[in-house]
């Protein structure tokens, strides 16, 4: 017996190691499963469950001791749709709910959140992006308006002067760029009306000369109240900028008009030039010379019925008979007395520039041209220019009277509309349809609107009388312009 036991033990030691790992049989049906069947079963399970193929998987059959607890290591791969979904009992699979689908849909700019979806921060960001493209958010605008009205009312109740901030306006797309800043399209939040907001960086206003120039322009614009002059509405500061709010003219300028459609006929130019004369008269009545009258400083309203004289950057207050020595303006429009640089009487130079402008309206070019500034100055001082053949004799005479090189022999500003060229009744342009801005009860209607904005009528009346620049006068003037 002992020899048989030794022989059996020696045979077992000679067997391969794999046969020593034979599973222990149990009392269940699986005890009848042969090793070969078990191997096939495992291989079939591997085919069904690809995750089990990876020995590094968090549910790998080689990691049996950790198989019942979730893996806490850093993931190496984020599952995508093309990846197979594991069916391990330790990874609960959830079907996508309606809410998760709704969140995905809100990422589309054109879709709305589905019913039953609570908006998330990411949804709000998407809505802001969409709204910025469309420029207006009605609910936000209404909320901002209510807050501004409450702030104004609280200021009057507490006796605290209110101060305009950038929150009173909505800033939109840029309209242009100047030497010291940019001009943006804006919206006056109380009325919803559009304005132009000129921003000047404070870093450019460090020296006294620049500050004086900026505030001189503000002072001059505040003196002139005329339908043919762009209106100053308000002035306030932000941390980095000085903000000048102006009337918005959405029809472009005369230079853009000529580039788009070419020269104008005399019947088309006549009502436009008549309004330009009215604008310059309004300036001279306030003892202001413009000194930069040109095509691109004449704006048009959106209806193409009104012109607006703008850009008072080189304008100044002057007295008749008082000589000025400053040289400024656009080279092609400069009067000879400015070029001579021996001092000039102020109000004649605007009439010269108006003669150049009328010539340009009718021909889409200027009478004096040269490749260099010195050559241009010589041509202007010589006073020689050629009229196109299609100019009428009447308009030739009119322009000649304005372009007289001797200032005192130039036609007077107040005599311009008396010239025979204006006596022609052919008005082919929409500009002749401009009507007087006065309407019955206009003032009272505007005051009633301002009361709804939170302003006291007495405060508005006093501010208008003193020509104060604040949000009350800005709101009044803006409603007055657009009524």
Answer yes or no: do 281 and 332 share one domain. Answer: yes
Say if CB 187 and CB 175 are below 8 A apart: no
Whether residue 406 sits in one domain with residue 302:
yes
321: domain CATH number is 1.10.510.10
Rounded CA-CA distance 196/474 in Å is 12
Q: Is it the case that residue 235 has pLDDT exceeding 70? A: yes
The response to whether 41 counts as a known ligand-binding position is no
Domain hosting 325: range is 254-433
The pairing of beta strand 288-289 with beta strand 316-317:
antiparallel
- What percent of the chain is modeled with pLDDT above 90? 55
Do 287 and 424 reside in the same domain of the chain?
yes
Q: What is the DSSP string of 35-64?
A: HHHHHHHHHHHHHH-GGGG-TTSTT-GGGG
Domain assignment present for residue 14? The answer is no
Domain identity same for 268 and 177: no
Average pLDDT over residues 279-288: 96
Q: Is 414 exposed, middle or buried (0-12, 13-18, 19+ CB in 10 A)?
A: exposed
> Exposure string (b/e) for 11-46, b if CB count within 10 Å is 16 or more?
eeeeeeeeeeeeeeeeeeeeeeeeeeeeeeeeeeee
All residues at 6 or more sequence positions from 235 whose CB lies less than 8 Å from its CB, including other chains:
218, 242, 243, 244, 245, 469
Do 283 and 418 fall within a single domain?
yes
- Its pTM stands at 0.69
Mean per-residue pLDDT, 461-474: 94
Residue of 247 and 47 predicted with greater confidence: 247
- Domain match, 213 and 272 both: no
Per-residue confidence (pLDDT) for residue 139, from 0 to 100 = 67
User: Is 118 part of any domain?
Assistant: no
- The residues annotated as belonging to the active site are 292
User: At 288, is the secondary structure helix, strand, or coil?
Assistant: strand
Query: Can you give the length of the chain in residues?
Result: 483
Tell whether 232 and 259 lie within a shared domain. Answer: no
Q: How many separate domains does the chain show?
A: 3
CA pair distance 33, 22, nearest whole angstrom? 12
In tens, the pLDDT along 404-433 reads: 999 999 999 999 999 999 987 654 555 554
Residue 170 sits in the same domain as residue 313: no
Residues 153 and 266 in one domain: no
474 lies in some domain: no
Determine, yes or no, domain membership for 88.
Answer: no
**Same domain, residue pair 197 and 281:** no
Residue 410: CA count within 13 A, CB half-sphere:
25
Chain Cα centroid distance, residue 382:
46
Assess whether 318 and 390 both reside in one domain.
yes
Same domain for 146 and 291: no
- The pLDDT tens digits of the residues spanning 299-308 come to 999 888 999 9
């Amino acid at each position: 017996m002992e020899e048989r036991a030794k022989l059996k033990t020696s045979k077992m030691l000679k067997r391969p190691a794999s046969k020593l790992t034979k599973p222990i049989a149990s009392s269940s049906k699986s005890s009848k499963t042969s090793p070969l069947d078990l191997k096939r079963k495992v291989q079939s399970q591997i085919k069904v469950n690809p995750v089990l193929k990876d020995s590094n998987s968090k549910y790998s059959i080689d990691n049996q001791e950790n198989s019942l607890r979730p893996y806490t290591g850093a993931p190496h791969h984020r599952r995508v749709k093309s990846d197979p979904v594991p069916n391990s009992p330790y990874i609960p699979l959830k079907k996508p709910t309606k809410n998760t689908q709704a969140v995905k849909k809100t990422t589309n700019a054109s879709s709305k959140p589905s019913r039953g979806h609570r908006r998330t921060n990411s949804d709000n960001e998407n809505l802001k992006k969409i709204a910025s493209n469309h420029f207006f958010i009605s609910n936000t605008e209404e909320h901002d308006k209510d807050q501004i009205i409450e702030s104004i009312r609280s200021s009057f109740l507490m006796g605290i002067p209110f101060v305009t901030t950038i929150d009173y306006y909505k800033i939109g797309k840029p309209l242009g760029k100047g030497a010291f800043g940019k001009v943006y399209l804006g919206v006056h939040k109380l009325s919803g009306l559009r304005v132009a907001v000129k921003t000047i960086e404070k870093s450019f206003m460090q020296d006294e000369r620049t500050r004086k120039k900026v505030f001189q322009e503000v002072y001059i614009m505040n003196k002139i109240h005329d339908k043919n002059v762009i209106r100053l509405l308000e002035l306030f500061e932000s941390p980095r900028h000085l903000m000048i709010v102006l009337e918005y003219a959405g029809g472009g300028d005369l230079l853009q008009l000529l580039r788009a459609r070419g020269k104008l006929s005399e019947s088309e130019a006549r009502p436009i030039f008549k309004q330009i004369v009215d604008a310059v008269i309004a300036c001279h009545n306030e003892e202001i010379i413009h000194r930069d009258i040109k095509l691109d400083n004449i704006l048009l309203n959106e209806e193409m019925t009104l012109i607006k004289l703008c850009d008072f950057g080189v304008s100044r207050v002057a007295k008749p008979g008082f000589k000025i020595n400053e040289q400024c303006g656009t080279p092609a429009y400069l009067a000879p007395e400015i070029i001579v640089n021996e001092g000039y009487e102020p109000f004649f130079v605007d009439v010269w520039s108006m003669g150049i402008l009328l010539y340009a309206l009718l021909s889409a070019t200027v009478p004096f041209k040269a490749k260099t500034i010195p050559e241009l100055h010589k041509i202007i001082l010589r006073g020689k220019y050629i009229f196109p053949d299609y100019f009428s004799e009447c308009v030739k005479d009119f322009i000649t009277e304005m372009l007289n090189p001797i200032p005192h022999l130039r036609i007077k500003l107040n005599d311009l509309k008396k010239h025979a060229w204006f006596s022609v009744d052919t008005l082919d342009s929409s500009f002749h349809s401009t009507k007087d801005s006065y309407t019955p009860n206009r003032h009272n209607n505007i005051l009633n609107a301002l009361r709804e904005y939170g302003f006291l009528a007495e405060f508005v009346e006093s501010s208008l009388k003193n020509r104060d620049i604040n949000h009350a006068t800005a709101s009044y003037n803006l409603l007055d312009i657009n009524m």
